[in-house]
Structure 1
Amino acid sequence: MPPVAGTPLTPAATSTGTPPSDAADAAKPRRARTSKPKVKTGCNNCKQRRIKCDEKRPSCANCVRSKKICSGYPPPPRSARPFEEIRIAPKPILVASAPPPGREAIQLPPRRVQKFQRRNLTPPQTPSPPRTVATLCKPIITLPFTLQEGLYFQLFQEQTANELSGFFDSGFWSRTVLQECHSEASIRHAVVALGALYKTLEKSTESPQGSPTGERDPTDTAWRHWEMAVKQYSNACQELMTAGSADTPHRTRLMASVLLACFDSFIGDHKQAIVQIQTGLGLLEQLRAERRRAFMPRPEEPVEAELIQMFTRLAIQAKSYDMAFHFPQPYVVRLTPSQPQDPSSPTESAGSPVSIYQDPIPDRFSSVLEARFKWDALAERTFRFTETMFNQTRSSVMGILPQHIGQYGARFKQEMEAWSDAFEHILASRTAPGVSSQEKACIAVLKMYQVMSYILLLMTFSKTEMGFDKYTSDFSMIVDLALEVVGDEERRAAQRRCPDPQFCRHRGRHEASFGGLSYAARHIKPSFSADLGIVPPLFVVATKCRDRALRWKAIQLLKSSPRREGMWDSELTARIAMWVADIEDTSDPAESAHSEPDIFHMVNASMMRTPPAAAGDSPRPSTSGSGGGGIRGSIDFGDISLGPGGNARYDPATRRQSNSNGSFAGRSPSALPPIPEDKRVMVRAVEFDLRERFAVVQLGSRELPTGSLDLKTRVTKITW
């Protein structure tokens, strides 16, 4: 009888004929397999060969020994990185094959990578960063940086400083801040933090994200750059606290407030950004008060004019944000003291970031830079005037002053008109040969702000939303100028990212179409700038213009390219404007009350309800290349035949003419039926979080005092 399987052989069994040597081997007990936890790390080559990887970087020892290219390490499991998603910018419209922003790309095994590359002939749009790191740090060897910090500083110097400036050149970012890094640790840390933040944005939105390459640096991920940005931000704050208020120079504290406010705006923390701005403005006023108490006939500014100019722009930005979204205390920047002032002297300097010694506006500006300085001063004094008047009159109606005091604002209206006249020759020259794309954008943005501010100033004394209908041609100019800016930006981005249109991967993706109209700005990446640009003027058009064609063009432009300009976010403003338009276009306003709208359905529905223009109406001239003022069709900025000035050509009909209401002549208004007064609403409050991407929006009547029963009240929560 044969032995039972699995039992050890006995000596008796060996006598049945089994060879002695084989019997001895069979008699040895089998070695049990050691139970160890399964290792899920290691490079992909070692995982495929099922051998232990020493996980050395950039190449493991097994790959070096076998002369293989180490294909890199897969990302850790999601359970090991619960806080992975980094929300520092508007959510971009992604290529269909790209993963969501802020997430690691999945590392494919080598055989699947080869299969993917054979199937996908398009080369990666984002090349691998150069490996020669020694030469990158050469210009900054005098600063106490680690190798990684030096790379972020180099990135700030070569790219971030220019992008923070927005459409306008700024020596503050490209020169003053970099010089201060040599003497102040807090400024150094803040600069490195902003450089790391820009690198985070770049990695989060690269196209195609995580493109398979032969070599991949495991430290070059969005999450690693984000960790460094937060760490350096914390170090900057710690340096300011450690040094103490008495030991830290005032200039350094003011500059740090600017840098930290930009960081907070970048990541979407607008409340902390406002706190930083308030801190800087308070310190600046304290320094000015000390100089005034010295009884100097004309005291000099406590810091250089460049830093004063930065706080002027931050103050304008914060006030415009408050006027649009109506923040509660303490997130309201005040430019005037709390005590009521004499409205006949609205240029009182207390609380102002701008010096009271202002030269008059010339008959003709000599440069765009001079026009910008004059406009910043005028805009700040206008905000300070309206703030003073609201304090003096104690107006109970949100954003509206009594008509009988409108005389006090007459001189600001005259100054805005004088500024427009002095700027006219610069506006007309923006499409001339030799004008750079950046200078053309500067000119367009400045004019957009002048038109927007002119409308809002005059409407401050109007109780009815119907008053905005007088400025339809002005709204049209804002949209046309924005089309120029976005169109030129898209054209340059397409040339840079897809020089060969045959291999462009950005044209085939799904485009959100509103009523058949699609602005195809496919190549513009999500961006952040510390200065204001096209978002605030387009938001005013989208919420205050009742010409449906212009309104939806403005909304499309806001959605065409994700951008954050200071605290102004294009996606947030577009979503709010879409809901306002839906409320005003809906036949029964109660249908949309207290409910979250279906964004894309409501846009298409409202556009379908828009009747065509009446026969015989002359079409509105368009600088967008769309062939008229219609709302149907598609505008692809990259395919338009370009002239000397870019995508759009100057239309003399848009030039400002002197008339009674201050609007732009030469444009025929839309023949669409106007929205009646009883259906028009205004934004009364917005509570939002850009990092979590939601907003609670409250709409209501314009003419009712705060706290009154308002039958137009609508509240909704918008997410994206």
Structure 2
Amino acid sequence: MAGSVVARKQNNRCRTKVRTGSITCRIRKVKCDENKPFCEKCVNTSRTCDDYESPFKLFTSQPINSAHAGGIKSDVGLRPIQPTFINIAPQDIYLLDHYFSTKTMFDVKLGCDEEARQVLQASLTDPPIRHAVLSLKALREDLEMSRDGPASIVQPTPSYQYGIQQYSMALGGLASNLSSLGSNGLKSALLCCQIFVSIEQVQKSYATMAQHIIRGLRNMHEYLVRPGFVATNTLVPAHHDQVPFLDVFIIKLFAAPCKFADPPAAVDVSGTTSSACLISPRQQPIESRHLRTIAPDMRTELTRIAASTLEFLGQVSQIESVGIALRLLSEKGALLDSLEAWPIDLELVQEEMGSPGSEPISVSFLRFFHLVLKLVLLGALDSSPDLYAELRTENDRLQGIAENVGEKVGAYITCSEARSGRGERSTVR
């Protein structure tokens, strides 16, 4: 009897511990079939299948050792790292930065490393943010698989269904938190807003994406995330510390080059309009091909304004006196003047090049980006009563451009699929 007990203990010690599979299966100590996004063991037993060890899961609980920081200088004014701080893996940050945008080329780096780190750190303790990150991960993986794989059935994939489920949970959790919006609630709302913008972009729901941007910027302004004037020469400090700057994230997101570089529709000799997506670049008229240069040329100027706007916002965040604030108001005026001139220059370029038909999608994205910059600048340092009426007008314009972009992207994808013979995959998602 004693021998059998000893043998049983030895056998238990020799067993290899389960280190893969879903978290739920590992907690239950059962073998996981590792089916994704939900394993069969959890589905068959009606359990919630928690995430696998994903790129967005943070593994180490060791504090960051400044001796191994590679000589990188820390930002001035940041709070010291507590012993419980979890080290964010660089590959996790890189992947989330990659997942933030689908408007740009798939291999373009957005420069949102710090924003990605903040999101991943907050997702450890904030359920809505965690659900939002899991949603973005699932939807982006579904997008990339559908792009590179064979023709897919119209039925939504399990990854897509899981992404939508997590998105709904994130929206519901955030709604309950907004009832008492203190510093933590505001931080959660702004971080969620960043991910929601990316989620809607993955789904090509640009009108809804615009709504998230508008509401997020409104929250930043109403809760004084940066110092601002409440009356003439009356400057008030920021009401919240350690809050993410959604406006900076949005600017970085749309400053990246656009992958939708299609030329507009071409007109054949009979006078009828042909869809440019059905014509190869060599078959297009030289004038039509030259229209592709509009977006890069106009993007250069808009990117310059965006860089100056980011520098301006950084200075606003550190304002310490009314004198500095007044000087920055004049810089704000100069930036707004540059933005006012940009669409005028765009129209002149289009007239000179004789643009037929509708403009390229990349130019429509630039128009969207232009209005985002204007909204950000209008709200900076200003709380005048007239401001809200002007913001409402610009918000409506942004919404209209977003709807136009959505229609163009949908048509672009339909034509691309027809040209490549990929079949009937649904793009209304």
Q: TM-score, normalised by structure 1?
A: 0.27
Bigger helix fraction: 2
Rg comparison, structure with higher value: 1
Q: TM-score, normalised by structure 2?
A: 0.43
